[in-house]
Amino acid sequence: MKTITVLPGDGIGPEVTASAVRVLRSIMKHSQQDVQFVEKKIGGAAIDTYGTPLPQETIDQCQSSDAILLGAVGGPKWNAQSMNIRPEQGLLGIRKAMGLFANLRPVEAYQALIDSSPLKRTFVENVDFVIVRELTGGLYFGTPSERRGANNEQVVDTLAYSRTEIQRVVEKAFQLAMKRRKKLTSIDKANVLESSRMWREVVNQLAKHYPEVTVNHQLVDSAAMQLITNPGQFDVLVTENMFGDILSDEASVITGSLGMMPSASLRSDKVGLYEPVHGSAPDIAGQGKANPLATILSAALLLRYSLDMDQEASKIETAVREVLNQGYHTGDLQIDHQDDKIVNTTEITDLVINTMNQNSTVTQ
């Protein structure tokens, strides 16, 4: 029996995780694998019930699980409260408590959505890369952090990395590159930051163990430009925590919407946390408008990386592609298709599940 802990969180989090759990339950019916789902609170929802964004109960449950599926945290309701307790601390806390140092964020230009990308066909066709974002170090976790000077006129955030922290995530990126097109782009700010200079050293050292992988270094500002002007050049990108956060939201434009970007947060064993790249989208929460595909695609990554169910993962990905090819999509996307049809969160989930079921019947 495998255990998947579900952390719906806030805003559209509960809507998109409910969709992904329905997809997972449906695919499990056709597999030999027994899975139980256990739901726990995180973020603003946990603050409301427990007074903390990451209750011990949630940490304990995650630590005894095979995988975690998370929606999103945060929202205006909690912004107004004391700045000392923030929903986002729950997210950073669970990543740190679970030791999930490598965050994979795949970027694919779906054929059906090319018109949805403001970048359009010339640049976007054949784009398929993965951002490997370091997730438990850097500016988010360095101490002292956000310490305010006594006169409230000074603040400091610390960008700290140990060599080991850099090595383990860069190693993951090389391993991923070996399974893909064997091209690694390391992104840093080595013209300014000491942490980036060590990052480069580590990449160059590890490159000697992966002679088949072509390595190049790009500065983050120019990389941000090249992601837009020539995204087809990338295969695997590896970068530190904050650069990875910013570049991945930028890259989501290529896919057509933030609602299309899944992610997997991994460590050295098989346990992982899977979540869409987007946030709690308070502007559309509770209206049935949320695009659940990023979370459904994150569930596919969960099957692939944590449960060794690669075939089932591919079934989900194929169904998503087919539904889009038929012209169905949520309102955040545009499709140039004669039967173009905007559907809601539940309807697109139903379409994915029905397509998966039809495909299983055909192949049986």
Ligand X SMILES: NC(=O)c1ccc[n+]([C@@H]2O[C@H](COP(=O)([O-])OP(=O)(O)OC[C@H]3O[C@@H](n4cnc5c(N)ncnc54)[C@H](O)[C@@H]3O)[C@@H](O)[C@H]2O)c1
Catalytic residues: 140, 189, 221, 245, 249
SS3 80: coil
Which residue in 245, 275, 312, 332 binds Mg ion (CB under 5 A)?
Answer: 245
Look at phi and psi of residue 138 and say left if phi exceeds 0, alpha if psi is from -120 to 50, else beta: left
Within a 10 A sphere around the Cβ of 106, how many other Cβ atoms?
21
What span, in angstroms and rounded, lies between the C-alpha atoms of 348 and 361?
Answer: 20
- Is 77 annotated as ligand-binding? yes
Pairing of strands 341-342, 328-329: parallel
- To Mg ion, the closest distance from the beta carbon of 173 in angstroms equals 19
**Cβ closer to ligand IPM: 145 or 360?**
145
Of residues 165 and 245, the one with the C-beta less far from Mg ion: 245
Return the ∠ at Cα 88 (arms to 76 and 37), rounded to 5°.
Answer: 105
Instruction: Find the distance separating the first CA and the last CA of the chain, reported in whole Å.
Output: 25
Helix (H, G, I), strand (E, B) or coil at 10: coil
- Judged by CB under 6 A, the stretch of 85-93, 106-114, 123-131, 212-220 that binds ligand IPM is 85-93
Distance CA(332)–CA(284), nearest Å, equals 10
Q: Has 53 been labeled as part of a binding site?
A: no
Q: Is 220 one of the binding residues for ligand IPM (CB under 6 A)?
A: no
In 3D space, the residue among 93, 72, 76 whose CA is nearest the CA of residue 8 turns out to be 72
User: Per-residue string for binding with ligand IPM, 45-84, x by CB under 6 A?
Assistant: -----------------------------x----------
Residues 6+ apart with CB under 8 A from 153: none
Q: Is position 61 annotated in a ligand binding site?
A: no
Q: Which of 39, 88, 115, 157 is the binder for ligand IPM (CB under 6 A)?
A: 88
Minimum Å gap between C-beta 251 and ligand IPM is 12
Interaction between residue 131 and ligand IPM (CB under 6 A): no
Which H or E element spans position 254?
A: helix 241-255
Nearer to Mg ion, 245 or 275 (CB): 245
- Residue 196 binds to ligand X (criterion: CB under 6 A): no
Chain residue whose CB lies nearest Mg ion: 245
Radius of gyration of the chain (CA): 20
Q: Please, what is the Cα angle at 269 between 252 and 306, to 5 degrees?
A: 55
Fill in the per-residue mask, 102 to 131: x = in contact with ligand X (CB under 6 A), - = not in contact: ------------------------------
As measured in angstroms, the least distance from the Cβ of 20 to ligand IPM is 16
Residues 73, 67: Cα–Cα separation, whole Å = 18
91 binds ligand IPM (CB under 6 A): yes
Distance CA 298, CA 292 (A): 10
Six-digit token string for 285: 């929460």
78 is in an annotated binding site: yes
Q: Which of 15, 165, 240, 245 binds ligand IPM (CB under 6 A)?
A: 245
Token pair for 310: 């690669």
Contacts with Mg ion, residue ranges (CB under 5 A): 245
Interface ranges with ligand IPM (CB under 6 A): 74, 88, 91-92, 245, 277, 279
Q: State the binding site for Mg(2+).
A: 221, 245, 249
Binding site for ligand X (CB under 6 A): 12, 16, 72-75, 88, 91, 258-259, 275, 278-284, 290-291, 294, 332
